[in-house]
A and B are shown apart, each in its own frame.
Chain A
Amino acid sequence: MPKLRYIYKAKITFSERIRSHSYLLRLLPFGNEAQRIVESHYHIFPRGVINKSEDVFGNKILTGYIDEFHNTFEFSSQGVLETYPYIIHEELNPIYRFVSRFTKPSDKLLQVNQELDFTRDLDNHEKAKFISDKINSLITYEGGVTGIGTSAEEALSLGKGVCQDYAHIMISLCRLNDIPARYVAGFIEGEGFSHAWVEYYEDGAWHGYDPTHNVKIAINYIKIAQGRDYGDCAIDKGVFRGVAFQNLEVIVKVEHR
């Protein structure tokens, strides 16, 4: 089975010194039947007291509080995974059947959904493909147009977006067609940024679909976080005291070993 080495490095630089900084990070990969953890390390600086726990979606979370003044905040995660075909057997949690904040459909999504017209007898694999094809005919990839707070409905109306928006639209359309679907944040092979894709449920298992690349996921996608939508999967969230501009630099690198 292939082995992947991943490195995720992030650094936030603040224009002024800040303090009383609380953070919640989702940095650590899942261990499941599609990815077995061989080794995994993380580094946070300054760190404060770190607490490791798991949220209700199964994500590993690191929380902490930094009291003293600081100008930069660094967090990184690296390790080696053994990957297997992207099928995850799991009992279905019903929350993935219902609308969530970023995927709530309104007129535009409902209209697109009518155009899908799944009257024929298709299984969820086929439907997922149709949905992804449809999305790719409606929106084009463009950075900087949407933000982390953009909903599926908004992105669809704009006709532009990034992986997060593709994933939200796909999730929304899946759920409208009674296909349980969830949002996944993680890394893919190569160098660049973190990525987002979709898992849909069929026959007792979750399957991966990458609507941004319009392809069913076979193997080698590293999952870091999952949830109803982006709101449950942010890699880093923080609150601090002080007034400062923030500059975030991220490096992601995934390669075969």
Chain B
Amino acid sequence: MYDLLVKQRDTVNKWMDRFGVRFGIYKNGTFKEQLFPFDPIPRIISNSDWAELDEGLRQRVKALNLFLYDIYHDKNIVKDGVIPPEFIYSSSGYLPQCEGITPIKNVYSHISGIDLVQAKDGTWYVLEDNLRIPSGASYPMIARNITRKASPETFQNNKIFDNRHYSSLLRKTMDYVNVDNGLEVILTPGRYNSAYFEHSYLAEKAGVLLAYADDLIVENNMVYYKGLFDKKDKVGVIYRRISDEYLDPLVFESTSLLGVPNLFQAYAAGNVAIINAFGNGLADDKGIYYFVPKMVEYYLGEKAIMKNAPTYLPYFEQDKRFVLDNLHRLVIKDVAEAGGYGVMFGKDMDAAKLEELKELIKKEPRRWIAQEVIDFIDLEIIEGDETVSRKSDLRVFVLSGEDTVVWPSGLTRYTRNPDSFIVNSSQGGGFKDTWVLKK
């Protein structure tokens, strides 16, 4: 299917280089931009698999949006005993400041990145929901642009859904919540952010302004873009690529230089839409993850289509006993960490380390979740002239605006290290294009 494309891989890499498809990383404290390694063999998803994912992910994201609204308003899901209050109030992602605030058109998670893996029996599992600022959509977009140029025959011979319209989906999502037809901006922390390439590429392709914190001011609860000669343009929607705690130094982290002072007040007054909304970190929480299938049933009255990886919460006494007894074969995650950090595999730990971890779990059960290690499908990658197998995952992007839409592609990441299970790009993996077949 893709042999012709693989033959063109030097051409593809030249184009990648030319377009500066880079990913920033910090090594020993210094910032380096390096090419984001691209493997030409695509991940291929059959049309029938996709139909199920499409339905399941729309359902999941709808439930997550309803959950966020509920938590920041009536909290029925807590009152009805589905989720213990500790999981809400002691989550670092829960922001009490958001209580009672309804975002524009009641959308919380405009852009959701759901991380999936496929087990050897073909079942797809959700590993993580990313509802804050999931990154990565730009890479398959530009990769497709390049691979189509490098090997047109490949795309003639295979019927594959195009994925280059991600930027127009993004633009539609921004248009939908834009307040009073104001300016539309992507707010970036700047060049030294690992995803700066993506910020500027999406701004270019969506035709919106790329703004830095200094460009925006809040006056009279309105957000303005500060142009030349103190000209001020009202901003209607901000797709921010800065996390909650740094976004408004007067409400959150005071020392943040990346944020826009009093942005929160403008947001609370309904004068600007923020993509994604403040306070979404709660739904990202690895502890809350456990409850997502229950949310689907609670809010939608439907059985959850997407499966979670089998997960145990040491918070529950029964689960704790199970986790302590089976620690050696489980994967343990610290709920406070992200980006592949704070993930430990029982099988890699010696007896002393296991004991140490057991003590930590007993001391702070709420801080940990444990999961079965799923035996997932490895994907082939080209290394030199050989084809080898590597662990990989898939981040699918779901956009919520007037409708909930699943982008028919996704970011497939793979590990470069053959023994590694962690495919996060912050830890130096590569990426693949993701093909969804039309038939």
Closest to B96 in A: A95
- A213 within 8 Å of B (CB atoms): no
User: Within 8 Å CB of A99, what residues of B?
Assistant: 90
Q: CB of B100 within 8 A of chain A?
A: yes
A49 with B262: CB separation less than 8 A: no
The answer to whether B3 has its CB under 8 Å from any CB of chain A is no
Please indicate the chain B residues that have their CB under 8 angstroms from the CB of A241 in the complex: 214
* Min CB gap A113→B, angstroms: 14
Q: Could you tell me which residues of chain A, from 204 to 251, have a CB within 8 Å of some CB in chain B?
A: 228, 237-239, 241
B26 part of interface (Cβ distance < 8 Å): no
Asked whether B99 lies within 8 Å of A65 as measured between CB atoms, the reply is no
Residue B220 contacts which of A51, A55, A57, A238 (CB distance < 8 angstroms)?
A51
For residue A65, which residues in chain B have a CB less than 8 angstroms away from its CB?
Answer: 217-220, 261-262
Contact digits for B237-270, partner A, Cβ 8 Å, 1 yes 0 no: 0000000000001110010000001100100110
Report the minimum CB–CB distance from B18 to chain A (whole Å). Answer: 38
Which residues from 113 to 147 on chain A have a C-beta closer than 8 Å to any C-beta of chain B?
none
A23, A95, A238: which has the most chain B beta carbons within 10 Å? A95
Please measure, in the bound complex, the distance between the C-alpha atom of A20 and the C-alpha atom of B98, giving whole angstroms. Answer: 26
**CA gap between A97 and B220 in the complex, in Å:** 35
B217 / chain A contacts, CB cutoff of 8 Å: 20, 22, 65, 67
A residues in contact with B230, CB < 8 Å: 67
Cβ–Cβ < 8 Å partners of B97 in chain A: 55-56
Q: How many residues on B have C-beta within 8 angstroms of the other chain's C-beta atoms?
A: 25
- CB contacts between A and B, total, < 8 Å: 63
Q: Which A residues lie within 8 Å of B96 (CB)?
A: 56-57, 95, 228
CA distance A99 to B366 in the complex (A): 13
Complex Cα gap A184–B251 (Å): 17
Question: In the complex, what residue of chain B is closest to A234 when comparing beta carbons?
Answer: B254
The interface on chain A, measured as residues whose beta carbon lies within 8 A of the other chain's beta carbons, has a size of 25
A120 to B309, CA, bound (A): 45
User: B342 — which chain A residues lie within 8 A by C-beta?
Assistant: none
Q: Which residues 71-102 in B have Cβ within 8 Å of A in the complex? A: 85-86, 89-90, 96-100
CA distance A97 to B100 in the complex (A): 19
B308 interface residue per 8 A CB criterion: no
> Contacts A49-B219, A56-B99 known; A98 to B262 CB distance under 8 Å?
no
Considering the chains assembled together, what is the distance between the CA atoms of A53 and B97 in angstroms? 13
Residue numbers in B under 8 Å from A228 (CB-CB): 96
> Is B86 touching A22 in the complex (CB atoms < 8 A)?
no
Among candidates A23, A55, A57, A97, residue contacting B89 with C-beta atoms closer than 8 Å: A97
Please name the residue on chain B nearest to A148 by beta carbon: B254
| Complex contact B220–A49 (CB within 8 A) | yes
Given contacts A56-B97, A56-B100, A237-B254, contact A94 B89 (CB under 8 A): yes
List A21-57 residues whose CB lies under 8 Å from chain B.
22-24, 48-49, 51, 53, 55-57
Beta-carbon contact of B221 and A51 below 8 Å: yes
Q: Which of B89, B214, B250 has the most CB of A within 10 A?
A: B250
Q: Mark A52-86, 1 if CB is under 8 A from B, else 0.
A: 01011100010101010000000000000000000
A22 lies within 8 A of B261 (CB): yes
**In the complex, what's the smallest C-beta–C-beta distance from A49 to chain B, in angstroms?**
4
Closest residue on chain B to residue A65 by CB atoms: B219
Contact of B265 among A53, A95, A238 (CB under 8 A): A53
Q: What's the Cα separation between A129 and B66 when bound, in Å?
A: 43
A228 to B85, CA, bound (A): 17
Name the residue of chain B whose CB is nearest to the CB of A61: B265
Contacts of B265 in A (CB 8 A): 24, 51, 53, 61, 63
Instruction: Find out whether the CB atom of A98 lies under 8 angstroms from the CB atom of B90.
Output: yes
Given contacts A24-B262, A51-B220, contact A63 B250 (CB under 8 A): yes
The answer to whether A94 touches B219, judged by C-beta atoms less than 8 angstroms apart, is no
Distance between Cα atoms of A8 and B250 in the complex (Å): 21
In angstroms, how far is the closest chain A Cβ from the Cβ of B278?
11
In the docked arrangement, what's the CA distance between A24 and B254, Å?
11
* Chain B residues closer than 8 Å to A95, beta-carbon distance: 89, 96
CA distance A49 to B249 in the complex (A): 19
Name the residue among A51, A57, A228 with the largest chain B CB count within 10 angstroms: A51
0/1 string, A176-218, CB within 8 A of B gives 1:
0000000000000000000000000000000000000000000
Cα distance A162–B366 in the bound complex, in angstroms: 32
- Contacting residues, chain A, for B99 (C-beta < 8 A): 56
- Complex-state Cα separation, A48 to B249, whole angstroms: 19
Q: Which residues from B are CB-within-8-Å of A53?
A: 265, 268-269
- 9 A/B residue pairs, CB under 8 Å, sorted by A: A24-B250, A56-B100, A57-B96, A61-B265, A63-B262, A65-B220, A65-B261, A98-B89, A238-B250
**10 residue pairs, one from A and one from B, having the closest CB atoms:** A22-B261, A24-B250, A98-B89, A49-B220, A65-B219, A239-B261, A237-B250, A56-B99, A98-B90, A95-B96
Seen from chain B, the residues whose Cβ lies within 8 Å of a Cβ on chain A are 85-86, 89-90, 96-100, 214, 217-221, 230, 249-251, 254, 261-262, 265, 268-269
Known: A56-B96, A56-B98. 15 other contacts (CB 8 A): A20-B217, A22-B218, A24-B251, A49-B219, A53-B265, A53-B268, A55-B97, A65-B261, A65-B262, A94-B85, A98-B90, A237-B250, A238-B261, A239-B250, A239-B261
